[in-house]
Structure 1
Amino acid sequence: MRRTARELLATTTAQLAPDPQANRLVPLIARGAASRDTLAALALEQHGVIAADRRSFLHLAERAAADGAPQSAAFFRTLADGEALAAERLKSFAAACGVDGERAAAHDPLPGCQAYPAYVAWLALNASPPDAVLSLTANFSAWGGYCATIAEALRSHYGFSDEACGFFDFFAEPAPDVDEQATAAVQAGLDGGRLNEELARRYGRLLQTYEAMFWSAL
């Protein structure tokens, strides 16, 4: 019996769940043991990630629309809109970390941190939109959990305001509309025979590896 999109998303997310030991930075932040310079670097690197991912999602939305995959196009447009909102919230976090315009302009991005958005850009050019939906959605679960942990730690250990924590709150919050769009896109891919589960898992595994590189580089 063929699996539904919900079943495929659930199993793929479970299969691609990262090793709890793979991320060494978030536990440090959770204990208040990470320096404010490290938090500032996190803000600076996220600035590059958010801008790049937004452009990648817009390109995926255009490709999906052109390929007759409106469900995938809607999903990626929603992601792009979310990145725009996140970019605004990131400003308050960066300011709380002491990042000003001069420091941002002088920052030299870390290759290990920017490998993730570089691969998302590769997906935007090379992956079929339904495959990209599945791989990205599976990756988002771990990211949301990291953001929830960081948001709590910023308040309890670093004295950051709600506004300064807004970037992480945004990604930590449940997003039922996005989940529904992802499910619809994956289901359409399955129904139309346009989703390659093996490739999507491969993409998802690489995304998880590049995300682990992001935290390790910081």
Structure 2
Amino acid sequence: MTPTPRERPLSTARELLDSATAELAPKPHANPLVPLVADGAADRRALAALALEQCRVIPADRRSFLHLAARSADAGLPACAAFFAALAEGEEVALDRLGPLLTACGVDAEQAAAYVPTAGCQAYPAYVAWLALNAEPAGAVLALTANFAAWGGYCGALARALRGHYGFSDEACGFFEFFAGPAPDLDRATLAALQEGIDLERLTPTTALRQGRLLQDYEEMFWGTLAGLA
């Protein structure tokens, strides 16, 4: 009997990544907030909450990526270590761009310090931290990268809408544009890390896809929580 596409072994990083990204693509209407922002109908409270939640998400993810980089290096996975180190550097850039976004949302330093994050928004970074402690590094590469595809699209839509409907400046939209823009160096690092996992038999696609699905579910929870404020 001929195996189905899902059952066939995926021998290259590109095949594996394309298959995982397609399988883990978000369901229609999985993100109720971005369409509201795109129409200019979202309350600014939701935009402020989005920025404030990211003030907690970004540092947490950065620490998780650094831990994964260290675990990868210890496990003899240099390409995975380089991938996670690059992600951690990107989180530093993103954190620097949150200030102008908070200002555009009308959030001052005192309000930012007093903000109480929501469980629905912080479940995603909590699971990334779980992956940092428990996942096979190459599997975490696949789970995270498949999820990033949807995140980048959301960020591009938000940057356009915030400019067009809310009058945000280029600087204020810089946080979202950073994630929405092309990243050829990271793409190459991703494929190298996945191929390393394949070649060394340190990657189990079924497990990584299960982890990627959970990440996608937690991201849906993030957007749904914010949409409740819109």
Q: 2:215 aligns with which of 203, 207, 211?
A: 207
Q: 1:62 aligns with which of 55, 70, 74?
A: 70
Partner of 1:37: 45
Q: 1:150 aligns with which of 158, 165, 170?
A: 158
How far apart are 1:20 and its partner, in Å? Answer: 2.1
Work out whether 1:174 is the aligned partner of 2:208. Answer: no
2:97 aligns to what SS in structure 1? helix
For structure 2, list consecutive stretches of 5 or more residues without a partner in the other structure: 1-8
Q: 1:115 aligns with which of 115, 119, 123?
A: 123
Work out whether 1:8 is the aligned partner of 2:5. Answer: no
Summarize deviations over 1:85-144 as a string: whole Å, max 9, x none: 000001110111011111111111000000000000000000010000000000000000
Summarize deviations over 1:149-202 as a string: whole Å, max 9, x none: 000000000000000000000000011111110100000100111101111000
Letter in 1 for 2:45: D
How many residue pairs match? The answer is 218
Cα distance in structure 2, aligned partners of 1:177 and 1:53: 20
Provide the aligned C-alpha RMSD in A: 0.7
Letter in 2 for 1:31: D
Partner of 2:147: 139
Q: Where do residues 84-123 of structure 1 align in structure 2 (5 Å cutoff)?
A: 84-123=92-131
Q: Where do residues 179-198 of structure 1 align in structure 2 (5 Å cutoff)?
A: 179-198=187-206
For structure 1, list consecutive stretches of 5 or more residues without a partner in the other structure: none
* 8 Å Cα contact 2:11/2:198 also seen in 1: no
**TM-score between both structures, scaled by the size of structure 2:** 0.94
* 8 Å Cα contact 2:120/2:225 also seen in 1: yes
Q: Which runs of 4+ in 1 moved over 3 A?
A: none
Cα distance in structure 1, aligned partners of 2:133 and 2:117: 23
Q: Where do residues 76-91 of structure 1 align in structure 2 (5 Å cutoff)?
A: 76-91=84-99
